[in-house]
Amino acid sequence: MKKKAVILDENAIQRAVTRITYEILEQNKGADSICIIGILSRGVSLAKRIAHKISEIEGTEVECGILDITPYRDDERKVSDTDRTSIDFDITDKVVILVDDVIYTGRSVRAAIDAVIKRGRPQRIQLAVLIDRGHREVPIRPDFIGKNLPTSHEETVRVQVTETDGCDSVVIFEPDEK
């Protein structure tokens, strides 16, 4: 794969997270009934950033959890001995904000919804993503989007976060020419 372009740098990601946070607060009329759940792996870092931003803006802590969707996937990557989910709060009657780095086919989000529903009955589930690259295979649409990034099926979008990768960036790669 060959780097095609840097789509978002550290500052652009920070602005996108801030914008998403304000949109979440506006749409939900504050932070009273919300909780945030990040989808492993980079969705967790973004979820924690959103939760931190909400606490800065609203002066209140929101519960933040980690969701491992591996057991709920419908592809071969299903095999796993450990569930790394960590949701130490009740989601019943809350607005659950699922956070992921990239939405593509929608299958990961479908698995995440299944995993959330298994843990309780939320009032509502909303989806926040940093990048929406299109190409859905299931009818799922994010409520909060950092950046729409139309891509071809051959291209790859890689999100890097400081907590995991040592830097913040969104890069698009294209296949090597043959």
pLDDT at 80 over 70: no
Residue 170 contacts residue 8 (beta carbons within 8 Å): yes
> Distance between CA 136 and CA 109 in Å, rounded?
11
Local structure of 68: helix, strand or coil: coil
Local structure of 151: helix, strand or coil: coil
Q: List, for residues 123-173, the tens digit of each pLDDT value.
A: 999 999 999 999 999 999 999 999 999 999 999 999 999 999 999 999 999
Residue 123 contacts residue 95 (beta carbons within 8 Å): yes
114 Rama class: left (phi>0) / alpha (psi -120 to 50) / beta: alpha
Q: List, for residues 81-120, the tens digit of each pLDDT value.
A: 677 899 999 999 999 999 999 999 999 999 999 999 999 9
